[in-house]
Amino acid sequence: MASWSVDKSGRFPQRLFLRASEIDRDCERLVTTFLQQRYGQVRFPITTNDLTILVEQHCTSLNPYADLSDEGDDVEGMTCFLPGEMPEILISVLLTEQSNRENRLRTTLAHELGHAFYHRAVFDQLFAAPPHMFEAARAEPRTVCKRGTMVDSGEFDWLEWQAGYVSGAILMPAQQVRRTVGDLLRGQGIHGAAVVGTQPAADAERHTVTSFQVSAEAARVRLRKLGLVADSAGPPTLFG
């Protein structure tokens, strides 16, 4: 269950604490419920159009053609929070208009969904605080999301770490990945984690890229976080 603790950065009244397992559970429920209601079945990869619709359900507006160049060359998404309303989401036009960057677009959409889904409560606390407190965050109540931290970010930047984890969990739900990659690895006689640098690990990454329509980087990060690939062999009971 999510909990609150002191935000040591001083940016917000409190920080939201989420375990990875909680994010996995919430995101799998969110995306599978959406697909079940829309199609009567759950199939992956989720299409980019369906992902866009899912994001739109959790924001006041979604602008996929935003000019974010003033924020920096590496800014690909932004979520702006509003008192008493769902947030606004902006996606860089450079992602939307370049077909060869669709996987990057999908990652960014899912990342901003993470901010909208979890962090509205954080900003609601900010808006409710006395006007003379947390002035910097109040002046710019938004998250500015850069290319380098879209998939994986250090936990010291907890907002970005959580949204980055959500991105993987939405596009590659934990149970779905464990099932499909687990079957693949068991077929190769591996009942624990595949070791990085080996053919089974490369096969697991390729299979994840294809099955969930994600970049190799996103697949690699997700497989590590789920313990399906590792620097050394994992326990034989990994897949239950």
Interaxial angle between packed helices 20-39 and 174-187, expressed in degrees from 0 to 180 and rounded to the nearest 10 = 100
Domain count, the chain: 2
pLDDT tens-place string over residues 3-41: 999 888 888 999 999 999 999 999 999 999 999 999 999
- According to the model, what pLDDT value does residue 238 have? 45
Judge whether 240 lies within some domain: no
Give the mean model confidence (pLDDT) for residues 147-153. Answer: 74
Which pTM does this prediction carry? 0.92
3-state secondary structure of 158: helix
Does position 237 have pLDDT exceeding 50, yes or no? Answer: no
The whole-angstrom separation of Cα 121 and Cα 73 is: 29
Judge whether 164 lies within some domain: yes
Q: Are residues 128 and 211 in the same domain?
A: no
Q: Are residues 159 and 179 in the same domain?
A: no
Q: Are residues 151 and 213 in the same domain?
A: no
Q: Are residues 186 and 163 in the same domain?
A: no
Closest CA to 12 of 181, 133, 179, 116: 133
Residue-averaged pLDDT of the chain: 92
Q: Are residues 56 and 90 in the same domain?
A: yes
Q: Are residues 136 and 199 in the same domain?
A: no
Give the tokens for residue 52.
């866009």
**What does 92-140 look like in DSSP terms, one character per residue?**
EHHHHT-GGGHHHHHHHHHHHHHHHHHHHHHHHHHHHS-TTSSHHHHHS
Domain assignment of residue 53, given as a range: 8-171
- According to the model, what pLDDT value does residue 240 have? 40
Cα dihedral: 215, 68, 17, 192 (round 10):
10
pLDDT tens-place string over residues 167-199: 999 999 999 999 999 999 999 999 889 999 999
Are β-strands 61-66 and 88-92 bridged in parallel, bridged antiparallel, or unpaired? parallel
Q: Are residues 145 and 81 in the same domain?
A: yes
List alpha helices for the chain, DSSP H.
20-39, 48-56, 93-96, 102-128, 135-139, 158-171, 174-187, 199-212, 216-225
Q: Are residues 128 and 199 in the same domain?
A: no
Judge whether 72 lies within some domain: yes
Judge whether 125 lies within some domain: yes
- According to the model, what pLDDT value does residue 67 have? 96
Does position 229 have pLDDT exceeding 60, yes or no? Answer: yes
